[in-house]
Amino acid sequence: MNIEKIHYRIEAQSLNAHLFHITCTVLRPAATGQKFSLPAWLPGSYMIRNFAKHVIEFSAESEGCPVAVSRTDKNTWFCAPCEGVLKVYYTVYAHELCVRGAWLDKQRAFFNASCVFMQVAGQADEACAVTLVAPDDPECGNWRVATSLSRHSQTNNSAPLYGFGDYRADNYAELIDHPVEMSAFTLVSFEVAGVPHDLVISGRQRANLQRLQRDIQTVCEGHVALFGELPEMERYVFLVLAVDDAYGGLEHRNSCALICKHGDLMPDDHAAPDKDYQRFLGLCSHEYFHLWHVKRIKPTAFIQPDLSKEVYTRQLWVFEGITAYYDDLNLLRTGLISLKDYLGLLAQTITRHYQMPGRTHQSLADSSFEAWTKLYLKSENTPNATISYYLKGALLAFALDMRLRRDTQGKVSLDTLMQASWKSYGKTGEGVPEEGFEKLAATLSGIKLEDFFQTYLYGKKELPLADLFADLAIQCQFRPAHSLNDKGGLLTEDTVSKQASPYASLGIRLKPNKKQVVIATVFTGEAAQQAGLAAGDHIIALDAWKVNALNLDKRLKSYQPGDVLSVHFFRRNELLHVQLTLQAPSADICLLTLETAATAACLSRLNTWREKLITA
């Protein structure tokens, strides 16, 4: 029987105080002293989080005798040399309600292993065992365990399916890529390509489980059809937390952690998906696509990343932007949403990108490289200075797809490029070098793409969206916003009749607030900035009329561009006043329209793109 040289035991020290207690046993500690450290970040989320800040106590012993411990840096503890087995004990505070952290109370426990399991220096490649201990509290008596971590088969405490007990991982990298949910969760199971899949839902909810199971299974099957196979794995797990108001996800090797609103999980049995349910299905689609793309096809820099500091690549647009392109496209291709619904979602993506003045200041490649300090560390000036590699990355993926299809007469597409990437990198475990994806696209298609990437990836020129959509019998146009919440979408005869007149713009973005008008961003060169307003200002009156988040749009519609307003606002509790000259809003709202008199060739390209996968 194989005995792992490293063993972790995690249990609830205090449910009410949100404290996990962890014991790490090392059979063969380093002779010169053993270091332990927690990661500063976790794969899939490119921000320094310093998980060690949640460690409260740390001690060590060997053969019943205390071992001296010292701190060497913010993430690392050093245990003095010892003769026998080394045991370390530490406590972790777990009260971060998100997909990237750890949580513990009487309702549920959840953790990313990066938050709780320390790496044993010099032994990252060693197999390890993990014991999950059930809370000693009668209120948790109906808790189960959901994780894609492998159950141990060679101990006396082997965990049953969905049970507490012993699990294992082949190395530290594998250990921290399997989050764990422990609660009285709702469970739905199904198979995709012969592999068990679990949909695990925690939190108070009244989910339509039958509809969810059917639709998520369809989502998974769509991506399997694209790549041609599932990666080798025991099972896949969707870990979903339903809360009052949140949204997000994080991919893992054989699972994903998702957070959504209660209402996102309540679709009607037979009705078309509403906007909330579309968004949830898109989130599931996005994270499941990562099963291939970023968890196995990954940049060279992420093959063995140093989790103590930032790791840089200019390829995040490849791994997040292309994934963002395929998440909703997969819903269209599998019939979960209509073409009109898809075009509405795509138009909103374009609108969000065009509403970022930073698109003239930052390239897509630089957006990827600077994710650590800009995209994940947002400020009030972020929209003015940066772009999102999710948004422009998805649009560049669309542009590349259309370019490949057009210049190869439909023989090569982004579909075939993804399949080739899976064979060249995903199945071999070889990392994608910088510019490797671009070179693979050129090699596979036989097209010279240097100018394309230099212009739109490394440069800041706008993508030729109107021309690209025209080839698909879709008209792409832009107009000024008609309200502060105008997101764009599909233009139909019905929506044309409901079009409002453009409003005079303050040139601001508001903080989410149902009552107060508080500025989140002042856009470069626009009315508010020229008048001297700033992020954080609380506007209370326009021309001596009280305004709030509910009536601001209506008040602005009574003015025209060029009108001068008297604006009263609070800044750091001081009442101030400025004169502001309203401007016409920029034409940054995207509307997509299906052409009614399209050519047969355009309709053929549209149908091929929306319905068929071009296989390699």
Between strands 489-490 and 589-594, the pairing is parallel
Side-by-side strand order, sheet with 108-111: 102-104, 108-111, 180-183, 144-147
Span 496-505, average pLDDT: 65
Tell me the per-residue pLDDT of 401-460, one tens digit each, with 9 for 90 and over: 999 999 999 999 999 999 999 999 999 999 999 999 999 999 999 999 999 999 999 999
- What does the H/E/C string look like for 253-317? CCEEEEEEEHHHHCCCCCCCCCHHHHHHHHHHHHHHHCCCECCCECEHHHCCCCCCCCCCCCCHH
Contact criterion met (CB below 8 Å) for 559 and 582:
yes
The number of residues in the chain equals 616
The runs of H, that is alpha helices, within 74-127 are: 113-116
User: pLDDT above 90 covers what percent of the chain?
Assistant: 88
DSSP 8-state symbol, 399: H
Any idea which residue has 């709702």 for tokens? 186
pLDDT of residue 2: 57
pLDDT of residue 1: 43
Both 433 and 377 in one domain: the answer is yes
pLDDT of residue 596: 86
Both 316 and 399 in one domain: the answer is yes
Both 245 and 344 in one domain: the answer is no
Q: What's the chain's average pLDDT?
A: 94
Tell me the per-residue pLDDT of 119-140, one tens digit each, with 9 for 90 and over: 999 999 999 999 999 999 999 9
Contact criterion met (CB below 8 Å) for 143 and 182:
yes
Both 607 and 575 in one domain: the answer is no
Tell me the per-residue pLDDT of 200-249, one tens digit each, with 9 for 90 and over: 999 988 889 999 999 999 999 999 999 999 999 999 999 999 999 899 99
Tell me the per-residue pLDDT of 465-482, one tens digit each, with 9 for 90 and over: 999 999 999 999 999 988
Confidence of residue 513 (pLDDT cuts 50, 70, 90): confident
Both 366 and 403 in one domain: the answer is yes
- What CATH number is given to the structural domain containing 568? 2.30.42.10
The answer to whether residue 485 sits within a structural domain is no
DSSP string, 371-397: TTTTTSS--TTHHHH---TTHHHHHHH
**What is the rounded distance in angstroms from the CA atom of residue 196 to the CA atom of residue 189?**
7
Instruction: Look at residues 234, 332, 351, 239 and name the one whose alpha carbon lies nearest to residue 284.
Output: 239
Tokens coding 598: 């399209």
Between strands 508-510 and 517-522, the pairing is antiparallel
The answer to whether residue 465 sits within a structural domain is yes
Q: Of 147, 182, 217, which closes a domain? A: 182
Q: Of 136, 164, 182, which closes a domain? A: 182
pLDDT > 80? residue 604? yes
- What CATH number is given to the structural domain containing 35? 2.60.40.3650
Confidence of residue 271 (pLDDT cuts 50, 70, 90): confident
Both 237 and 337 in one domain: the answer is no
**What is the rounded distance in angstroms from the CA atom of residue 366 to the CA atom of residue 76?**
31
**What is the rounded distance in angstroms from the CA atom of residue 443 to the CA atom of residue 26?**
49
pLDDT of residue 497: 45
Instruction: Give the residue numbers spanning the domain of 444.
Output: 292-475+595-616
Tell me the per-residue pLDDT of 532-550, one tens digit each, with 9 for 90 and over: 999 999 999 999 999 999 9
Instruction: Please state whether 505 falls in left (phi above 0), alpha (psi between -120 and 50) or beta.
Output: beta
For residue 35, the cross-strand partners are 78
Both 10 and 159 in one domain: the answer is yes
pLDDT of residue 470: 95
Span 169-180, average pLDDT: 97
The answer to whether residue 274 sits within a structural domain is no
pLDDT > 90? residue 491? no
Tell me the per-residue pLDDT of 50-71, one tens digit each, with 9 for 90 and over: 999 999 999 999 999 999 999 9
The answer to whether residue 303 sits within a structural domain is yes
pLDDT of residue 611: 83
Both 328 and 374 in one domain: the answer is yes
pLDDT > 60? residue 616? no
The answer to whether residue 589 sits within a structural domain is no
Both 11 and 157 in one domain: the answer is yes
The answer to whether residue 486 sits within a structural domain is no
- What CATH number is given to the structural domain containing 422? 1.10.390.10
The answer to whether residue 158 sits within a structural domain is yes
**What is the rounded distance in angstroms from the CA atom of residue 204 to the CA atom of residue 266?**
12
Contact criterion met (CB below 8 Å) for 147 and 176:
no
Q: Half-sphere exposure of 606 toward its Cβ, with a 13 Å CA cutoff?
A: 20
The answer to whether residue 58 sits within a structural domain is yes
pLDDT > 70? residue 573? yes
Give every CB contact of residue 194 below 8 A, 6+ residues apart in sequence.
Answer: none
Q: Give the relative orientation of helices 414-421 and 209-227 as an angle to the nearest 10 degrees.
A: 80
- What CATH number is given to the structural domain containing 259? 3.30.2010.30
Instruction: Look at residues 227, 476, 528 and name the one whose alpha carbon lies nearest to residue 347.
Output: 476
Confidence of residue 393 (pLDDT cuts 50, 70, 90): very high
Span 577-584, average pLDDT: 95
For residue 539, the cross-strand partners are 517, 569
Confidence of residue 500 (pLDDT cuts 50, 70, 90): low
Q: What are the φ and ψ backbone dihedral angles of 210, each rounded to 5 degrees?
A: -65, -45
pLDDT of residue 502: 67
Both 68 and 165 in one domain: the answer is yes
Both 116 and 217 in one domain: the answer is no
Tokens coding 118: 């320390």
Q: How many domains does the chain have?
A: 4
For residue 189, the cross-strand partners are 198
Confidence of residue 614 (pLDDT cuts 50, 70, 90): low
pLDDT of residue 496: 52
Tell me the per-residue pLDDT of 137-154, one tens digit each, with 9 for 90 and over: 999 999 999 999 999 988
Give every CB contact of residue 251 below 8 A, 6+ residues apart in sequence.
Answer: 44, 287, 290, 291, 294, 295
Confidence of residue 574 (pLDDT cuts 50, 70, 90): very high
Between strands 102-104 and 108-111, the pairing is antiparallel
pLDDT of residue 612: 63
Look up residue 39 and give its amino acid.
P
Both 470 and 426 in one domain: the answer is yes
**What is the rounded distance in angstroms from the CA atom of residue 420 to the CA atom of residue 397?**
16
Give every CB contact of residue 153 below 8 A, 6+ residues apart in sequence.
Answer: none
**What is the rounded distance in angstroms from the CA atom of residue 36 to the CA atom of residue 59?**
11
Look up residue 24 and give its amino acid.
C
Q: Give the relative orientation of helices 391-407 and 339-354 as an angle to the nearest 10 degrees.
A: 120
Give every CB contact of residue 518 below 8 A, 6+ residues apart in sequence.
Answer: 510, 511, 536, 537, 538, 539
pLDDT > 70? residue 313? yes
pLDDT > 70? residue 495? no
Contact criterion met (CB below 8 Å) for 253 and 230:
no
Q: Of 182, 197, 232, which closes a domain? A: 182
